[in-house]
Amino acid sequence: MAVAEMRKVIFVGEKEVEERFIKKLSEVGIFQPVPVDKKTLKFLKVPEVKTDSLQNALNKIESAINFLTQFEEKKFDLGLFPSKLIVHPEKWSKWIKDFKWERVCRMCEEIEKDTEKIKEELSSLKEEYTNLLPWRKMTFPLTILKASKYLDCQAGIVPAESKNLILKLTQKKPIHALILEEVGRKIYLLLIFTREKKEEVEKILQKAKGEKVK
């Protein structure tokens, strides 16, 4: 009786199907399981690949793409390119090899930081503009508001309902209330008075539930 040629084979698969798979092969009588030696196990071992640096690079590239996408004026099927470009494979490979993606990512990060800084400055300027807008009727140079030998002044904001009270408390006194603007429920005013009335002016603002403005 001729002896059939035997060959050594290695099956690689999921652990959960191992028993069923071996049982099926045994039933048809064409397979005899044998222990796998350490050398083979070492060969089959999945190599450990450190992906931290790769993931970090991918995150930077993705961040740069997201940043640049906002500047697209038109949307095309090919993203930043309006139509398909025919490029020779060698030129394409060279471009991929020589492309300084780290420099592009770094520039995007710097521009994004500068942009955020400018946005913050713009927001601060808008807030300052809004705060100064009610005082626009003060057309004279602010340097004249400095205390002099005989006169002094104080800018203030009081509730709209305190307008009559302010006018009443300053009536027939060396205190002049100059109403500059009424915005919403607030009145912006300038009190001009003789220097000896400084404490009285502060009391008037307190009674009117107002606040001094520097």
Domains detected in the chain: 15-44 (no CATH), 139-213 (3.30.70.2750)
Task: Give the residue-averaged pLDDT of 77-81.
Answer: 55
113-153 residue pLDDT tens: 999 999 999 999 999 999 888 888 888 887 777 777 888 98
Phi and psi torsions of 170, nearest 5°: -100, -5
CA distance 128 to 184: 18
Q: Is 157 left (phi over 0), alpha (psi -120 to 50) or beta?
A: beta
**Predicted TM-score of the model (pTM):** 0.51
Which among 204, 208, 169 has a CA at the least distance from the CA of 187? 208
CA distance 81 to 130: 42
CA distance 144 to 197: 18
DSSP per position, 81-119: BSS-----HHHHHHHHHH--HHHHHHHHHHHHHHHHHHH
CB atoms within 10 A of CB 187: 23
Please check the confidence at residue 80 and state whether its pLDDT lies above 60.
Answer: no
What's the pLDDT band for 2 if we cut at 50, 70, 90?
low
CA distance 154 to 178: 10
Which among 156, 95, 56 has a CA at the least distance from the CA of 165? 156
Alpha helix locations (H) across the chain?
Answer: 18-27, 38-44, 52-69, 89-98, 101-132, 163-170, 198-207
88-101 residue pLDDT tens: 888 888 888 888 88
